[in-house]
Amino acid sequence: MKKTKYIFFGILCTLFVTSELYSQTDKEQISAIRNESNTALKSYQNEKVLSFLTDDVLITTGNGTLLCGKEELEKYISDGGKSKMYWIRQTKEIKVNEKRGLAWENGIWNGYDPEKSDDSIINGNYSAMWTKESGVWKIKSQLFVTLSEN
């Protein structure tokens, strides 16, 4: 009986330690979501892109247009027509406030039009506010500023 208790205790400790080793930090979770978002943007999976945002998301586009909420963003995307433009965000920094479930991300973004070039044709900087309000990291707000056009 004692041997069984020790084996059970050993298994329990092993599970606890390995779960801690393999669990992602908040920064790693945000980075992984950003990578998923980039993949979805490049493959024009708009519904998946929208799934990474809160319903009341605020987006300021690179030209200064303010979009309030997923519905308005979805309309903005559909009004864009058959454009093959896509955007890739490259994270430079992520800071997390674990107590409040908030995070700040900044980096650079590049816009591509595969019908014109393999190279970026427009780019700039961005900042994003993330929230873990629902238990999963989602983007609450994003600000994009266009700084260069080719």
Give the percent of the chain with pLDDT over 70: 85
* 59 located within any domain: yes
Q: Does 10 reside within a domain?
A: no
CB count in 10 Å sphere of residue 143: 17
Token readout for 91 is: 């994270």
Q: Is the pLDDT of residue 20 over 50?
A: no
Distance CA 140, CA 150 (A): 30
d(CA 60, CA 145) in angstroms, rounded, equals 8
> Environment class of residue 7 by beta-carbon count within 10 Å: exposed (0-12), middle (13-18) or buried (19+)?
exposed
Number of domains in the chain: 1
More confident: 54 or 117: 54
**pLDDT of 17 higher than 50:** no
Confidence label for 6 from pLDDT (cuts 50, 70 and 90): low
Question: Is position 14 within any domain?
Answer: no
**Structure confidence at residue 31 (pLDDT):** 98
Q: What is the pTM of this model?
A: 0.82
pLDDT tens per residue, range 102-114: 999 999 999 999 9
Q: Is residue 1 part of a domain?
A: no
Structural domain of 47: 25-149
C-alpha span between 135 and 149 (Å, rounded): 38
pLDDT at site 80 = 81
Q: Is residue 17 part of a domain?
A: no
Residue type, 39: T
pLDDT tens-digit map of 38-87: 999 999 999 999 999 999 999 999 999 999 999 999 999 888 878 889 99
Question: What is the CATH classification number for the domain harbouring 46?
Answer: 3.10.450.50
Q: Is residue 100 assigned to a domain?
A: yes
Model confidence at 15, pLDDT cuts 50, 70, 90, reads very low
Whether 16 maps to a domain, the answer reads no
Alpha helices per DSSP H over the chain: 2-22, 26-42, 46-51, 70-79
Q: Is residue 98 part of a domain?
A: yes
